[in-house]
Chain A
Amino acid sequence: MSQDLRTEYRGRILKAGDLPTLPKVLDEVNRLMEDPNSSTDQIAKVVSLDQALTARILKMVNSPIYGFPGRIGALPHAMVLLGLNVVRGVLISASVMDMMNKASVGLWRHSLGCAMAATETARVAGLDDPEEYSVPGLLHDLGKMAVALQIPELQDDMKYLVEVEDMTMLAAERQLMGFTHARVGAWLADHWRLPPFIKEGMVHHHAPDKAEHYPLVPAVVHVADFLVRLFEYGSGGDGHIPYLEPAAVDRLGIKFKDMEKVMDALAERLTQFAGYSFS
């Protein structure tokens, strides 16, 4: 793999105009979140100016990802239940959703499943605010989607390596591009200035012990990814289950019994995604 080709691919993936732009309202939300004097109501007001976005946020918080028993009908309620970080994450997700869906329905389903599994994994691991892990779970394979959309001519070769040569997606990406979707995830996270909590989940979900600031996030996403692949809900791009890193399991301090609880939730709730659309 020549350096030139890698640079060219990188440029194409990040080509402005082709990637979705994050809504302006996000800047305002970020600013308000950093301001200790701002209130939840203020933030809700800013977000609700964009009605389409608000509708998507509510659809998402009412989705099986979180499994709340009642219906959440208003933004302020969602913010209290899920916390501002989750709402901000959902805001980001709502903006890239179309791209994800367009790139591959299978991958989009896999991502939804992973968001649910990440929330449940964080819960059984006893982590604070388990819902916050849904966003890195949802976005962990964003790099795959960007590659599919921005460098479409690689898809045939990718398919050949995965289906005929029985390679993993990760290995096929390395061979064809010289980098993987995890690296692409890092570029996208920088491009959109995503919070480090989300970025580390995207970048290190295959090597969770490499995370610098939020090691729990990639550990959660790693285990969640493994479990969703186990259920073969949607498609992670190849027909393999990834290696389950013992370090990730240790980091979370979970036992097999805890993973059973996550699998119980997946078995019950994954089917509820059928026919679910966020548009």
Chain B
Amino acid sequence: MARIPVTELKAGMVLAEPVKRKDGMVLFAAGTTLSEEGAKRLAALGLDSVNVSGEGPDEGLAQLFRERDARLDRLFRAHTDSAWMMKIKERLRSYFQKRAAQAEKG
């Protein structure tokens, strides 16, 4: 996910979050694939930028996964005697690290 200035939106880009009017009415749902027409209409709405899926690094997501990795020992502190829970913890660790690296690369 990346924030893209509305002037640089192109057909084929996928909205990562809904675009709403001030009163909350959803104009474009999350997951909408923009047509050329849609990109133009969005640019005309007066927004600065929108979040688009899969474009470039996602710092927020990378940080979220890094934080999760850092919290594992603390969260699992009552289960150090359980081989099963320690195994789960290590699987989770590699998952969080893998996803953090992917989000950084974009």
Contacts and interface: CB of A to CB of B under 8 A. Distances in A.
Interface stretch (A39-47, A131-139, A188-196, A229-237): A229-237
A70 B29 contact: yes
A241 B75 contact: yes
B30 interface: yes
A21 to B, nearest CB: 29
Given A240-B77, A243-B82, A243-B85, 14 more contacts: A69-B29, A69-B31, A71-B26, A232-B71, A232-B75, A239-B74, A240-B75, A240-B78, A241-B76, A256-B91, A264-B99, A267-B65, A271-B64, A272-B17
A263 interface: yes
Interface in A238-274: 239-241, 243-244, 246, 256, 260, 263-264, 267-268, 271-272
B3 interface: no
Q: Chain A interface: which size bin?
A: 20 to 34
A69 B64 contact: no
Contacts of A246: 84
Given A231-B68, A246-B84, A239 B75 contact: yes
13 contacts: A69-B32, A70-B29, A71-B26, A71-B29, A230-B68, A241-B75, A256-B91, A256-B95, A260-B95, A267-B61, A271-B60, A272-B17, A272-B30
B71 A69 contact: no
A230 B92 CA distance: 9
A162 B74 CA distance: 14
Contacts of B64: 267, 271
Interface in B87-106: 88, 91-92, 95, 99
Contacts of A241: 75-76, 79
Contacts of B74: 239
A54 interface: no
Task: Report, nearest first, the 10 A-B pairs whose CB atoms are least far apart.
Answer: A69-B31, A241-B75, A71-B26, A70-B29, A69-B29, A256-B91, A240-B78, A260-B95, A267-B64, A241-B76
A48 interface: no
A243 B91 contact: no
A168 interface: yes
Contacts of A232: 71, 75
A244 B88 contact: yes
A37 B6 CA distance: 52
Contacts of B88: 244
A6 B51 CA distance: 52
A160 B65 CA distance: 31
Given A244-B85, A263-B95, A168 B78 contact: yes
Nearest to B32: A69
Nearest to B76: A241
B99 A267 contact: yes
B103 to A, nearest CB: 9
Query: Which of A69, A230, A246, A263 has most chain B Cβ within 10 Å?
Result: A230
Contacts of B76: 241
